[in-house]
Structure 1
């Protein structure tokens, strides 16, 4: 099996990396975060490239590519910690694409794929959706009850939406309490749609982890103590090696799950649960270790590494954290074993 990205997939990833490196330095992330806004100029550029519709079928105005291409793109957006409504929009599009009716797809996907409208995906618990990423300003919301295996498509005009603050100011979040009869049910493959969404979030976490690792390596090579770079000390090297191990493990699990979503859906449930578990744990661990290895400066507002840490904390819990998905892996494995007996 060839685990390398294809030439076209590598081109998408390279183009995104170069664009974001030039357009989204950390100073620009900081400005958007401190002002509590999205970077609309960057989102406009992403729209011009057709990227909100990268995994939307061509018949609905998208590029008709797969979850692997979406994962490659989201990894780079996570690396840049880009303050745009891109994640929420593609998560809503994935849910509608795979679980919506033909009428729902025809109504919403062209607008989401073209960037004319933005969307969001949230999780209902006890009738409330807390901290829904990119909900403020969204034209359509998908609210999922994971335990019940159901999802509802809601227009924000029909339910009260409260913009809420979180520890992550690089993204705007909303709170909704839609009521039992609000919205239209998605009656397709809700579980498969949520699995694909979990893989997408895992991909962003991979990018966040990689950026935290790269920033840390650069710092420990430059920062000196006792006349030598702190990266020369074995204890520091061990920490950096653990960060690399965690990041690469998350990347491997995530791209396998993305491949399964496109090529072998029967393996998607297990692969998605593993990817989200590993990527969630890695995102929190790697960004936390990055702050520690930056020393005293890592705890200051002026240090850029804390933006990554904060984004990782919220992404790690979105659509279920590490513990939730490890339990799901155990349950799926037990079910598979029982089926063979």
Structure 2
């Protein structure tokens, strides 16, 4: 197959390119090339999708499949205008953020969506609405039977520059707590949220399934994530992977809010933690349709172990995109011990 990846040099795009090459396909990546290089064997077409001439070097060719990861509706509009007539199948990486509500565990693809963004340009505040608009534009341009809408959940594994899935194994592998001579060394602060679910799709499994959809022209919308795992079980798996045997200091969501700890991601956060009940279904989506369509998620332990190995290879002075710094962790542990 001739596959055109709109991107292909960043984390997920690069993995898609690797996977497609490994499966014997001819791969071209259209990208600015600022996020990295393409894998050996792929062709890089340097282009800026915000420019009117972005597709000039690829529009005159036939493509068996296009894979796109953008969240800018204008990019979907211009790409389909330039290429739709010469593409066999379109695979679009959407997001579970398209849904209007996140409080119902087990919701499937029929759940209500956010209103589509009425603009070609989005910012992070309108990410979900922008993805809805991208889906709608693609359906209109190529038709329901010629596109896969992959509503991805949290992506993890090696290369996770967001640090959302590597934070916990990394923290358990290197606790910030220096110990107090009383056997409490190595303590780690964790959310006390036994009812909260987590759901991670390994980047390699996602890429494999996306290429599979291109090969088989799998049509429709799919929630694409890993199996649902409770937060306590996820943390227990991260501990085993990291070899952590120290104590856990559990604190509730009200305590975390009072101490200005952010949920999910970003500075001074505890990744994977989300407040309940409004996010009870955010990481508990029904993935049955994707499983029936060939998705095969690997064990969570493998994703976390490989993510930890990757994180250990990064520079020591790298600033994490999510989680607590060592100083913040020690500060919060001290506060929790005196609560």
TM-score range relative to shorter protein: 0.3 to 0.5
| Structure with the bigger percentage of strand | 2
Say which structure, 1 or 2, has more relative contact order (CA 8 Å, 6+ apart).
2
Name the one with the larger helix percent.
1
